[in-house]
Structure 1
Amino acid sequence: MRAERLVSSGVFMPDLGLLRRHYPMAKAWVDLVERLAGTSRLWDTGSQLGDWLEAAAPPDDPAAGRTDRYLVATAYFAHSARHLALAAAELGYEQDAVRYETLAEEVADAFRRRYVLPSGRMASDSATAYALALVFGLLRPEQRQPAGDRLAELDSLRPAGTLDPGGMTSFNHYALGAVADWLHRAVGGITATAPGYRRIAFRPRPGGGITWARTRHETPYGTASLSWQLTATGMTARVAVPDGCTATADLPGCAPVLLGPGEHALDTANLAAEAA
């Protein structure tokens, strides 16, 4: 049995140091859940949050909604075991890779026997149940289409444009967090283009009378920062790229510039002149 590789065609190389450091904790967690589930491979005991705050849940038990809380737990058990197998494969722990991929398949089989009906419908007929089964790869190929069709029928925004009557629907639950994200990415100009900020895009976009900004983010590799200011000839910027990372500076009116680790001083007037 083979665990899929995290790396595909050399597009992204994971930081094996970080992966190796956290691997024992991930393994300890999966091993604990395996003991709790036992030979049934179903994590169907103990206190579980389930689909926390689902619209139809009783006020005194927010996890007791339409989605069986143990369906959620078992789905995450399979998902965790599969990703542990992927991590083991990257680290060269071949025996662990085979063991945890096998465990993930056993949990997925148990999940299907308990929670998936022959028709492809879920025992818990809820959007959460279908989404977990589809996204976590817990269904057989012939079950995916009917599960996806049923998920579409259950989306909270109905065809006529009305909302689910449960009172818990939100299409902007991120709320003010979205404003902060916009400030960080658009005004401040820092965006991760690979997991863990291994690759970074510095792309400030001034507007609305804003003439300068300073932004920084503590990545797993160190501080990434960008400060920029509008000038009579364009924009000046100072960029810090952490060790072990690469970056692209995409300043207004200029072609993107590749940057390595360290501090960089940039001026759009000079960049434009060099490009010409």
Structure 2
Amino acid sequence: MKTIKLGTSTLEVPVVAVGCMRINSLDGKQAEQFVRTALDEGANFFEHADIYGAGKCEEIFAEAIGMSASVRESVILQSKCGIRPDVGMFDFSKEHILNSVDGILKRLKTEYLDVLLLHRPDTLVEPEEVAEAFDQLESSGKVRHFGVSNQNPMQIELLKKHVKQPLVANQLQLSITNANMISQGFNVNMENSAAVNRDGSILDYCRLHDITIQPWSPFQYGFFEGVFLGNDKFPELNKKIDEVAANYGVSNTTIAVAWLLRHPAKMQPVIGTMNIERLRDCIKACNIYLTREEWYDIYRSAGNVLP
């Protein structure tokens, strides 16, 4: 498995992250087999959140991998906190962050997280409280690296005003069909909807500040409306992806991930499949380097128009 540096840290991570949001859909033996396959393929970066399965996903993962001191040193664990579905709000308070991490560590049966991300932005955030929480988590050894999720440049800058730890990652929705952060860069100063800057140029910002973008839902269109692969709603896109896949002798899944990895931003897609063969197909993307022509052909076939 190819690796990249996560942000400005020295942490070497696989270019494909294994998302565990749906691991609670597997029984015990299936979960164990899935995790073992990921490890055998070199995909040892496992991505969680405290809300996935109301915490059950982290517990299932720890059981499936047989968490122990030796096992822990062979994997990289990331989790997220900040969403409170029980009361319908986001919460970046110091108390909630600290309590959330304690719960995450208990469920994962580990003493530390390699990476903690703040989930969806909390408009009531007090950056000073976040800084205090991060300092306490770092000094206690409970968290080694920090980042954010779904945040725009000014939200990150606000945190950086007080937080001393580098923010190494930003998890953002990005796929061939959900590519606004790319499209608006093509349409600067144009009078069309694609020119609307909805995210503060987050793609360029992350590249400028060496923050690793972790695309989530790399196969989804809309907001969890479904996958675009094999979908009749995207005939031209699937025709082009299938054509490129045939040229490389791989699956359409592999090409969809390779499209993201081709971008020079050095992204780390978060793969959410619990299907072992599809996981293997995703990992194969590490060895595919699309040509510039192939990348643009796929982009345009999704209905994205170049000015």
TM > 0.5: no
Which TM class, normalised by the smaller chain length? under 0.3
Q: Which has the higher contact order (CA 8 A, sep 6+)?
A: 2
- Larger Rg, first or second structure (1 or 2): 1
TM-score (norm 1): 0.22
